[in-house]
Amino acid sequence: MTVPAKHRMSRRAFLGSLGAATAACAWCRAGVTLAAPAAIPFPARFCKTLPDKSVQCELCPRRCRVPDGLRGYCRVRENRDGTYYSLVYGYACAGNLDPIEKKPFFHVYPGTKAFSIATVGCNMHCKFCQNFDISQANPGDIQIPYRTPDDIATEAVKSGARTLAFTYSEPTIFHEYMHDCAQAAKDRGVESIVISNGFINEAPQKALFPLVKAIKIDLKSFAPSFYTKICEGTLQPVLDTLKRLSGSGVWYEIVNLIIPTLNDNTLDIQRLSAWVVKELGPDVPIHFTRYTPLYRLKNLPPTPTETLLLAREIAMKEGCHFAYCGNQPGMDGEHTFCPSCKKAVLKRYGFRILENNLSGGKCKYCQTVIPGVWE
């Protein structure tokens, strides 16, 4: 593999056309002008140079061994003469103000907004990706201005958001930028949340713990073959990521996108739910969300309502206190129910909060503590 000349440019010379995700970006609509691009790419962390000037990446479980002049699987980290660089540090291609329920987080600051950013790239290749236009793009595909972590933090404050969210693509691949943006935001009183596939190694994951308030992990299936065939990944590292989150002090929630014929097997849903309750505890929220045909799986139908309801029922029978149905407004599975008195402490419709019956993080009806990040 030979790296095309256009990928060997300085950061000042990023070329290409603006992608669809960027076209919808709040920055583009607002015409924000920020700092000029840096002269050189940003040195990557969590890697080591080998004697032959190859680089061993230690960021995710792939542990790519990258020869001089080439890039890793994620396409956004490049070996230049034995030094590994991030090609996306400072290049956020999206900046939108979203409801936190859209992430989805149902136990984190309900009804608030999250200032959401992403860069191009991902360390998986899911055939059902909902944001493939940026996750599967290369750094040279989108022309965007350079934004420092201070710029990002400043924009988050200006937006009035309660949190800064790293989302849309896979934040692991822009770990350096995420880390520094989260620190800059924290210095300004804005907390950070992460929306991730969980395909990350222990050291970089733990480096985020002091800087983030909550992490949402996509547990795409409990079948190893699904990860291999549909995502070009592996299941066990994601399970390891979830185990490290348990007891870390960082709040976390799990999403399982239910795709007809691929991961809607009731036995797999039962095994997934049982594993979460046994290994992580009954209070970890599980969101079973509706699939909409996109990218390379347009031949499959949307997830039937009955399948979502069944998945939620299975999880609750396994002992999960907070099982949800998502991406289909109007279902009881959108609400948060007190596990003691069974009354709704949070009622939702889509991304809107209709009722909040929490008081100091407790059910106002029976005073049972509802786990989450409420204040």
* Residues forming beta bridges with residue 48, ordered by sequence position: 56
The structure tokens 């149905």 sit at 325
Q: Choose among 281, 286, 277: nearest CA to 324.
A: 286
Q: Rounded distance, CA 313 to CA 291, Å? A: 18
pTM comes to 0.90
Q: Which residue has the higher pLDDT, 84 or 28?
A: 84
176 contacts: CB under 8 Å, gap ≥ 6: 42, 44, 45, 86, 89
Query: Domain residue spans in the chain?
Result: 5-17+34-86, 94-336, 337-375
Provide the pLDDT confidence category of residue 40 given band limits of 50, 70 and 90: low
Could you report the per-residue pLDDT of 253-270, keeping only the tens digit for each? 999 999 999 999 999 999
DSSP state of 66: E
pLDDT (mean) for 118-132: 96
What letter represents residue 194's amino acid? V
What pLDDT band is residue 49 in, cutting at 50, 70 and 90? very high
CATH number for the region 94-336 comes to: 3.20.20.70
> Mean pLDDT, the chain, as a whole number?
90
* Nearest alpha carbon to residue 283 among 311, 254, 256: 254
User: In this predicted model, which residue has the larger pLDDT, 314 or 29?
Assistant: 314
How far is it, in rounded angstroms, from Cα 217 to Cα 168?
A: 13
